[in-house]
Structure 1
């Protein structure tokens, strides 16, 4: 595949997300909707804005579960070795996904799995934010885990960024589900700036610039930040749920999964 090609694996899922809200985007100079895509004009515009698409951008739709089938083999046959990828998931009112700058790399053994580093970030187009939102993932979490055609990636076919699973097992069998639309997704507050974290970062900045007589006050602020974070963690444990559920729940059956190929 030519190096000028950029592939977007998109899974269209409607769900909530958390992260930095980006500005509005405008579909100027870009071609119309790709033939066969499930995205509306406004959804397509929002996605291209997050991707930084320009006037030479051309997108084609490679795979849709509603058109080409819902098995892992169906996905692999249509996507092949295309890269980079954008995963888009649609589930009711929620629409989200993930950007992956590498392809789906199968292991040598059909019963094995492969895990490799990859530039990964999540996003939300609808269902939670007023504007398209990009969610950064800590560098150590930017990995892709892919099962062989007969294997398992810890109970899924594909795991993106650790917290987005396709064909996720919901029966405790540790084997992938038969349907690629069986999803599991969650993120943690470490991926999203919180009021407590903002306070702690400001405290560090103050400590670098203020005089010695302020150290006791800064110490008190640090202790309050620690208490605030502790209260948040206790509440999360009490609820026994992850921080951010982009699909509305941690496990769901997506309405649609789509793979797009973007050429610049």
Structure 2
């Protein structure tokens, strides 16, 4: 759970004391799968994903709801049935996104703004996965694929705590003191791929 100071810091980044945070999903309480999470988050919009791994506490804010792919139209006698019945594997859309570190990467809690052109998200269908530069995931945050939940290779993992997360060095604040990979990119979980200790999703109102 977040400490009072960590909770207050998130609220400060989100607009201050006029805002509030409600815990919708906690992996160690509600289950680790994509379906477990969707049952708790439902259509809530404005979501803070908080990831804990060892001494690291970090995450992202997504300023929209999780939009799953819409089902394809039913087949007609004039079209190929197989082509119309198969639903899209994922949905991609623009929305406000920024990252944050509450501990383990900087000398103090730090909000990490992102360029407008990378702000967006891809959400898989219940059965599918989001194809990435390496492997697949259930949720991929930013159009440039910075943070992935339910990641594995070659096929996505149903465990959302299986993650792949990095920030390109050009988007990493100069005060960063955490681990980096061989390319100098920040790896906020200590390594590029990691199994988180917990994942929480909070609704911002």
Which position in structure 2 is the counterpart of 1:73?
A: 35
Determine the C-alpha separation between the residues in 2 that align with 1:50 and 1:262: 11
| Partners of 1:116 and 1:143 within 8 A in 2 | yes
TM superposition shift of 1:241? 4.0
Query: What pairs up with 1:21-36 in 2 under 5 angstroms?
Result: none
| Partners of 1:186 and 1:242 within 8 A in 2 | no
**Is 1:181 the counterpart of 2:161 in the alignment?**
yes
Which position in structure 1 is the counterpart of 2:139?
A: 158
TM superposition shift of 1:160? 0.6
The size of the alignment, in residue pairs, is: 180
| Partners of 1:181 and 1:257 within 8 A in 2 | yes
Determine the C-alpha separation between the residues in 2 that align with 1:65 and 1:193: 29
Name the Cα RMSD after superposition.
1.9
Query: What pairs up with 1:115-194 in 2 under 5 angstroms?
Result: 115-154=92-131, 155-161=136-142, 162-169=145-152, 172-173=153-154, 175-192=155-172
Which of 179, 200, 203 pairs up with 1:258?
A: 200
Change (3 A) 1:191 1:46: same
TM superposition shift of 1:111? 5.4
| Partners of 2:27 and 2:200 within 8 A in 1 | yes
Q: Quick one: higher RCO (CA 8 Å, sep 6+), 1 or 2?
A: 1
Which position in structure 1 is the counterpart of 2:8?
A: 45
| Partners of 2:140 and 2:147 within 8 A in 1 | yes
Which position in structure 2 is the counterpart of 1:88?
A: 50
Larger Rg: 1
Which position in structure 2 is the counterpart of 1:99?
A: 61
TM superposition shift of 1:48? 1.5
Change (3 A) 1:194 1:61: closer
Gaps of 5+ in 2: 72-86
Determine the C-alpha separation between the residues in 2 that align with 1:92 and 1:193: 22
Change (3 A) 1:167 1:130: same
Determine the C-alpha separation between the residues in 2 that align with 1:101 and 1:58: 14
Gaps of 5+ in 1: 1-37, 196-235
Which whole-Å deviations, capped at 9, do the CAs of 1:68-87 have from their partners, x for residues lacking one?
00000001111011111111
Determine the C-alpha separation between the residues in 1 that align with 2:158 and 2:193: 15
| Partners of 1:50 and 1:132 within 8 A in 2 | no
TM superposition shift of 1:178? 2.3
Determine the C-alpha separation between the residues in 2 that align with 1:242 and 1:75: 33
Question: Between Structure 1 and Structure 2, which shows a larger proportion of strand residues?
Answer: 2
| Partners of 1:111 and 1:149 within 8 A in 2 | no
